[in-house]
Amino acid sequence: MGRMSHVVQMSIAWICLVPFGIFVSRFFKETFSTVFFLQEFWWYSIHVLCMFTALVFSVGGIFVLEQMRDDPFNWRDIPVVAHSVVGIVTLGIFVIHCCVGFFRLKTIRSRLVQIMLHWLFGNFEYLLASQFSSTVICTLFCL
């Protein structure tokens, strides 16, 4: 039960919310640049909401897996250990990524560095997370 809940929560976070947040921020910046929501551009509000919700689902997915675990963590099961390590690294990069994207720097040069770091962290974490997509899809359809 804990494993299935983990799969569902991570799927919602990384297959639905993160790609939608990326899509909105990538393709709707210029389209609706005069529409505001909560005193911010609407695309930015949706992007932040999707990413924050994905972070909550990711932490919840890890938490529910640990709370509902029947047997102790097996450090000899290499695929499980690899999945756990890459998942924690991805979540750590995601938190750093959210911090880099949240704080806006003032000077043009530092802002360009920030934009590049935001792009780099985002693509790297999504590349790490996407390695589990095939596993997730197989798990959902094979159970």
79 phi and psi angles, rounded to 5 deg:
-60, -35
Domain boundaries, the chain: 2-142
b or e along 26-42 (b: 16 or more beta carbons within 10 Å of the residue's beta carbon)? Answer: eebeeeeeeeeeeeebb
CA atoms of 68 and 43, how far apart (whole Å) = 37
pLDDT at 143: 52
The predicted-structure confidence for 18-29, as pLDDT tens digits, reads as follows 999 989 888 887
Terminal Cα-to-Cα distance of the chain (whole angstroms): 11
Answer with the residue of higher pLDDT: 51 or 2: 51
Burial of 128 (0-12, 13-18, 19+ CB in 10 A): middle
Other C-beta atoms closer than 10 Å to the C-beta of 100 total 19
pLDDT at 50: 93
Average pLDDT value for residue range 115-119 = 85
The predicted-structure confidence for 30-84, as pLDDT tens digits, reads as follows 776 676 766 678 888 888 899 999 999 999 988 988 887 777 777 787 877 888 8
The predicted-structure confidence for 118-129, as pLDDT tens digits, reads as follows 888 888 888 888
Beta bridge partners of 36: 41
Indicate the DSSP class of residue 115.
H
36 phi and psi angles, rounded to 5 deg:
-120, 150
Average pLDDT value for residue range 129-143 = 61
- Model pTM score: 0.79
Beta bridge partners of 40: 37
pLDDT at 32: 67
